[in-house]
Amino acid sequence: MVRLDWQQNSIKFLSVLLAFILWIYANNEQNPVKEKILNVNLERTGLVQNFLITGGMPESVKVKVLGNNNQLANLTPGDIKAVVDIPEGVTGEILLPVQVSAPAGLRLAQVTPEEVRLSIDLLVEKEIPVVVSLRGAPAQGYTALTPVCHPGTVIASGPGKVVNEIIQATAVVEIPPAVRDIEQNYPVNVGNSSVSLNPSMVHVVIPIVSAVSSKIVPVQIQLTGVPANGYTIKGSVAEPVSVQIFGPAEALSEISGINTEPVDIHGIDKNLAKDVGLIMPPGVTNFQPGRVKVQVEVVKKESPVQPPPGNSGEPSPQKP
């Protein structure tokens, strides 16, 4: 009796097992196992305040999962979580595993990369001076003086390895062909995107002044030669009597007059009027007008007064 029950139970068990195998076979035939590759955003945990990742952290990892059609049909990257857990207080390079979790029923086949090598640094702040870099030039005849920057310093924040080597921030100013002061806000940078500056803008004033000074000086007439025999020069005058000279203030301060080109009066016996040029003194860049009219007055020499004949000019002796 017992033997018969065992045989019947065995038959029932084999029937159930066979049915289960047939169900799995049929299910696999109708809904086979497939794979799907997803780009999953890589997150990080454990990074404490004043520490930051300076390199090696990819934005995403590739995850290959296995499942049937029903499981994979609506699977999105957001359904899978990829995390790197960063130890507290660690700096420098560190190799860490990528931890991936997927919905129940799916099997993780591959994660690329499985590990990441991160660079961790301490966040530091440092006060650095601002230097204004001028490019271009103002209008012709003008020059830019030393710029004034406010504030003169900014706070640089970023990885200690980078910030500790920074000595200054730069504000680049493109100078237009200006004839008056330039006043504007300009961005500052240190040439490294991992460093932030506070403030990020500075107010710059660039004085624009005339590059040349001017001065009114008298015209000095230069005469060469001598007039005809019996004639002499009574005087000479230039028209205009003074001209405006241009040049650096230092050079103009040494100049008290400007000479004409030599005016030849050799053998003249009457008044002379002549347009002549001016000789540019050292340091002068220009003068106005460029020519003057010189007038020279010539007169006859006066003849000496002769005493009357027989009169020597001495008193005659008195008769006794």
Tens digit of pLDDT per residue, the chain (320 long)?
445 465 666 666 666 666 666 655 555 555 677 899 999 999 999 888 889 898 899 999 999 999 888 888 889 999 999 999 999 888 899 999 999 999 998 999 999 999 999 999 999 999 999 999 999 888 887 888 889 999 999 999 999 999 999 999 999 999 988 888 899 999 999 999 899 999 999 999 998 877 778 889 999 999 999 999 999 999 999 999 999 998 887 788 889 999 999 999 999 999 999 999 999 998 888 888 889 999 999 999 886 666 666 555 455 554 44
pLDDT at 1: 46
Q: What's this model's pTM, rounded to 2 decimal places?
A: 0.50
Give the domain ranges of the chain: 29-113, 123-210, 213-300
No. of H helices and E strands in the chain? 4, 25
Q: Which of 281, 260, 284 is nearest to 212 (CA)?
A: 284
Say whether 213-300 and 123-210 share the same fold. yes
- With tokens 């870099």, the residue in question is 133
pLDDT at 12: 67
How far apart CA 214 and CA 244 sit, in angstroms, is 7
How far apart CA 15 and CA 228 sit, in angstroms, is 154
Question: What's the topology of domain 123-210?
Answer: RNA Polymerase Alpha Subunit; Chain A, domain 2 (2.170.120)
How far apart CA 179 and CA 244 sit, in angstroms, is 21
Task: Decide yes or no: CATH 2.170.120.30 for domain 29-113.
Answer: yes
How far apart CA 309 and CA 317 sit, in angstroms, is 17
- With tokens 């017992």, the residue in question is 2
pLDDT at 210: 75
**CB neighbours of 175 closer than 8 A, spacing ≥ 6?**
134, 135, 136, 137, 138, 144, 182, 206
How far apart CA 271 and CA 4 sit, in angstroms, is 163
pLDDT at 253: 87
Copy the structure tokens of residue 241: 């009597």
Highest CATH level, class, for 213-300:
mainly beta
How far apart CA 220 and CA 256 sit, in angstroms, is 10
Copy the structure tokens of residue 36: 């799907």
